[in-house]
Amino acid sequence: MLTVYYWSFTNFKSKPTPNICFNDYYCAPKLISLMEQLSLLTDLEFTPVLASTGKRFLNYLIDIIIYYVLLFCFGIFLAVTGRSEFASEDNNTFQLYLSVFAIYVAYFSLFELVFKGRTIGKLLTGTKVVNEDGSDPTAKTYFLRALSRIVPFEPFSAFGGRPWHDRWTRTYVIDVKKTSMSVSSF
């Protein structure tokens, strides 16, 4: 376990002084310099445990059900507000498809951005999106992940191992409970 030790203050006007041993039973740990702390932090190694195919499939099912509920709500909104241009015979399918794709991309990118790599499906299954190095993806990465999901046959790419939206954005979906950070060497 990595522990970082801090300086203590004897009073507010004095300079910081290290903790000292008071007796044989209580002795504060040795202080380490900032450079030593940084070198220890660079020795941390990210050891991801990738989410299983079953969890990934369950994520997909939960998220796609929620997406269809959102589409249903969008349809009700259009009906209530009298926006009938989507249902007209003037061939406005482009606007309809654009709206459907916009809701799809917005659902995935916004949820992953707000919940730090998690959609509702990922929250329920205990999984999360991370970069290849274990860091949290940026808003751009979440958007590109969501955008790449609208590529035809993209869901079938999961049968070949790592789905395209993971490969193209250099991300992984990990099992949060099983993944850890460990120190590679001391």
**pTM for the complete prediction?**
0.66
Out of 19-33, 53-67, 119-133, least confident range: 19-33
Say yes or no to pLDDT of 158 above 60.
yes
Amino acid at 63: D
User: Of 9 and 170, which is predicted with more confidence?
Assistant: 170
Quote the pLDDT of residue 38.
58
Q: What is the pLDDT of residues 173-182, one digit of tens each?
A: 999 888 765 4
Q: Please compute, for residue 160, the number of CA atoms within 13 A of its CA located in the half-sphere on the CB side.
A: 10
SS (H, E, C) the chain: CCCCCCCECCCCCCCCECCCECCCCCECCCCCCHHHHHHHHHCEEEECCECCHHHHHHHHHHHHHHHHHHHHHHHHHHHHHCCCCCCCCCCCHHHHHHHHHHHHHHHHHHHHHHCCCCCHHHHHHCEEEEECCCCCCCHHHHHHHHHHCCCCCHHHHHHHCCCHHHHHHCEEEEECCCCEEEECCC
- Whether the CA torsion 120, 166, 101, 139 is positive or negative: it is positive
Q: What is the pLDDT of residues 88-105, one digit of tens each?
A: 666 667 787 888 899 999
User: Of 108 and 2, which is predicted with more confidence?
Assistant: 108
Tell me the mean pLDDT in the region 12-34: 49
Quote the pLDDT of residue 114.
93
Say yes or no to pLDDT of 62 above 90.
yes
Say yes or no to pLDDT of 25 above 60.
no
Say yes or no to pLDDT of 20 above 90.
no
Quote the pLDDT of residue 99.
85
